[in-house]
Structure 1
Amino acid sequence: MDLASVEHTETTGGDTAELFHAATTVEAAIRFASWCDQQRHLTAQAAMEYFGLQKATAYRWLNAYRAARGIHA
């Protein structure tokens, strides 16, 4: 069997995991939260630049992080 011709059809975390160089979305979320915890001025622009996120994705992940931490912006 030629392994180069095998098509990978199963996903473990989708595009989000790939953006974070993570095996799963859970790992991506942990990496994102860890990065957020280290920031003095947490902004969507910083997340976009650091992770290469689209604007809507950066805001969605930041809002989820803030909600989980009980941070009201």
Structure 2
Amino acid sequence: MLMVCHHLNPRVPEDLAFAESRIRATTIAAEDVLHDIGALSITSSDAQAMGRIGEVVCRTWQVAHVMKQRFGDRGSELP
């Protein structure tokens, strides 16, 4: 996605180097935790009507699954 958004060419070594410099594993790992605890929203449809509700639902269930694995079954905590 980074290559497309910045109009980079994967055949140009400088473009590849730029893209690789922007991808940081530690930042991605930290974002994963923040996403999983709900500090950052990742379940949304884009504003240009390109998103699909099915993708939003699927991603919501994926996040719930990861949270259950990391933090355990919360049971019936809702009133």
Flag whether TM exceeds 0.5 (same fold).
no
Higher helix share: 1
Specify the TM-score bucket, using the shorter chain as the normaliser.
0.3 to 0.5
The normalised TM-score by structure 2 is 0.38
The normalised TM-score by structure 1 is 0.40
